[in-house]
Structure 1
Amino acid sequence: MHSIQANNYLVHFNVKGYEQLNLHLIENKYSNIFIIVDNNTNELCLPYFLPFLETDLTIEIIEFEAGEHNKNIETCVQIWNVLTELGADRKTLIINLGGGVVTDLGGFVASTFKRGIDFIHIPTTLLAMVDASVGGKNGVDLGNLKNQIGVINVPKMVLIDTQYLETVPQNEMRSGLAEMLKHGLIYDKLYWQQFLDLKSVDFADFDSLIYRSVEIKNEIVTQDPTEKNIRKSLNFGHTLGHAIESYFLENENKKTLLHGEAIAVGMILESYISWSNKLITQDDYKEIKSCLKSIYDTIIFDEKDIDPILDLLIHDKKNEYGSIQFALIEGIGKIKINQSVENELILKAFQDYKS
């Protein structure tokens, strides 16, 4: 597969990626390398990765505990301290080897340490490959609020090796699949239609589906790197999805949802809103709802859950002047950004989701 040109960096795939990584090390004369991992990728992915690394530089491993609840400024402070204690400088390279939590947090750590040092993303989950590692967004959560603190700063390269997916549980694969489905809904109807019957999907050629998903995200981000316009389309399903994810994250009586599980709910709800606003047909909505519910378990919402979820919407990063802004689909494969939605319609969407 050909490398994909992004904004000031390349996304490489499989074996070619390691060749480009080693060439990059030679050309840039780094002082040392720090590899950031969580405890899962330290055990399952690092032993596979290290033999590909051809360098005499000192390599240090920084591990933190896996999980969204550790994607916070406290973890960053711990890593900044370790970097300082072990002699990281302006010519240090950070390699983030892991899923979306590792790439988001590791990119933020690198972007802020000594006002910014080079970093490379090597995503190891489907979600990180098709979404988190591409586009230059790096950051951490503020309490239960998703990605409230962060920067837009691109890596030196992204290296996608689908062999890492052999270490990923099925529920995590489904979580990543949600972002691929989103890419089809907002940008490419033919791509969306490939997933309508998962039994017919050729998973032997899953690399090509991942490649197309990365292409779609990159094409959008390249047009609008700092999310002033069309990049907002990538937030389809995320306005309500992030609020749901945050609510379930903070509520000890709820089972924490994976990112893609929450976004799948968000896409159903926001598709209902799109239909109610006559942006898609009823058949489109039924197709979307049926497809997503066939892949993801229905999440149970009690009446007392809805108001706190709505309260969390005010923290959505797309909001402007106190107004909640949605990205809604305008026909499958097209998007309409900066859409205001009344709470009454959101409540109807939740009611319909339950049916």
Structure 2
Amino acid sequence: MKSIKTKSAIVHFNDSVYSELNAYIKANNPSKIFVLVDTNTHDACLPKFLSKVDSGEVVIEVMEMPEGEDHKTIDICTGVWEAMSEYNADRKSLMINLGGGVVTDLGGFVASTYMRGIDYINVPTSLLAMVDASVGGKTGVDLGNLKNQIGVISEGSMVLIDTSFLETLPHNHMISGYAEMLKHGLIYDKSYWNMLVNFENLEASALDNMIYDSVVIKNNIVTEDPTEKGLRKVLNFGHTLGHAIESYFLGNGDKIPLLHGEAIAIGMLLEAYISTKTIGLSTEEFKEIEKGILKTFSKIEINENDQKAIIDLLKYDKKNSHGKINFVLLEAIGKPKIDCEANNDLIIEAFEYYNK
């Protein structure tokens, strides 16, 4: 697969990944290499990765963090910063983030802020991270249960996508990443959406071309608007309500936490419904979206008390401005509209539709 040039990095795929990484190390001669993993990727991915890396005389230090969204915190960052300092990391050190979206988000933030910024490379190992979290330079951590409230936009030097790592993923994590791919179709390319919803084999070996297409779509959007002043906001379709749902289920001990893609799938369905009531998404296309999402994602019970709490969390959404909650909605599949508003009554109506 041909490598993809982003604004300040290059995304390499499969066969070229390790030769490009080794060439980068040789050319840049970092003082030390730090590899950040979580408890899952330490066992499932790190041995293969290290076996492929030729660091020459450069020392590699492995740092391990707990897995899961609830550990994407500033406290974990502090632990990583302190470990790097103890191992004498300097401004010529290189950080490699080997993991899913939690590792690439947190590791990118750590690298972007340590000594005001060191080089880093993302090696995404989950489908979600390959198609979304590792590309575009968004880094950061959660503030309590609020998603990605602290962070910077700072792109790494390279992204290395080795899709063989997907063979280590549980099926529900594959489905979680698939939600972001569906989003790319809904906001950008109806033919891509049609291909995805008619795809029957969510196996690692069959996904290479679609992963590539998703990276191209995201890169096209981010290249035009790297700091999210306008067009890049379309990538947040499904995320206004989806992030609030994810935060609520993560912070409520009575609920089973949802994976990111599971929450975003609900958010996309709700926001598509709102689109039919506000900006003219056709009933036909809405039903198509509903069928496409529910084909893969099971419905989750969201009762009246849940709805009120989720709506209350919307005030923390990063797209908000001047006290207004801003949504990305759909005029049609492939035709998003940013900075839309919806009142609470309509949001509750969307939840009621979803529950029925």
TM tier relative to shorter chain: over 0.9
Q: Is the 8 A contact 1:194 1:201 kept in 2?
A: no
- CA gap 1:5/1:28 in 2 versus in 1, 3 angstroms: same
Distance in 2 of aligned mates of 1:286 and 1:316? 27
Structure 1 unaligned residues grouped into runs of 5+: none
Distance in 2 of aligned mates of 1:200 and 1:116? 41
- Runs of 4+ residues over 4 Å off in structure 1: 200-204
Amino acid at match of 1:288: I
Structure 2 unaligned residues grouped into runs of 5+: none
Distance in 2 of aligned mates of 1:201 and 1:315? 34
Q: What fraction of aligned residue pairs are identical, expressed as a percent?
A: 56
Residue 329 of structure 1, CA deviation: 1.2
Alignment deviations for residues 273-326 of structure 1 (CA, whole Å, 9 cap, x no partner): 111124311011111111111101101011111111001000000000010000
Q: Secondary structure at the residue paired with 1:285?
A: helix
Q: What residue is the counterpart of 1:132 in the other structure?
A: 133
Distance in 2 of aligned mates of 1:116 and 1:32? 15
Alignment deviations for residues 162-205 of structure 1 (CA, whole Å, 9 cap, x no partner): 00000000000000000000000000000000122332779754
Q: Is the 8 A contact 1:269 1:349 kept in 2?
A: yes
Distance in 2 of aligned mates of 1:169 and 1:279? 38
Distance in 2 of aligned mates of 1:135 and 1:344? 35
1:92 aligns with 2:113: no
Distance in 2 of aligned mates of 1:197 and 1:17? 30
Q: Secondary structure at the residue paired with 1:329?
A: strand
Q: What residue is the counterpart of 1:105 in the other structure?
A: 106
- CA gap 1:255/1:200 in 2 versus in 1, 3 angstroms: closer
Q: Is the 8 A contact 2:166 2:204 kept in 1?
A: no
Distance in 2 of aligned mates of 1:215 and 1:319? 27
Map 1:179-258; keep pairs closer than 5 Å. Answer: 179-199=180-200, 204-258=205-259
Q: Secondary structure at the residue paired with 1:8?
A: coil
Q: What residue is the counterpart of 2:283 in the other structure?
A: 282
Q: What residue is the counterpart of 2:38 in the other structure?
A: 38
Q: What residue is the counterpart of 2:334 in the other structure?
A: 333
Q: Secondary structure at the residue paired with 2:332?
A: coil
**What root-mean-square deviation, in Å, do the aligned CA atoms of Structure 1 and Structure 2 show?**
1.1
Q: What residue is the counterpart of 1:175 in the other structure?
A: 176
Q: Is the 8 A contact 1:195 1:201 kept in 2?
A: no
Residue 19 of structure 1, CA deviation: 1.0
Amino acid at match of 1:12: H
- Name the TM-score, length of structure 1 as normaliser: 0.98
Q: Is the 8 A contact 1:122 1:159 kept in 2?
A: yes
Q: What residue is the counterpart of 1:13 in the other structure?
A: 13
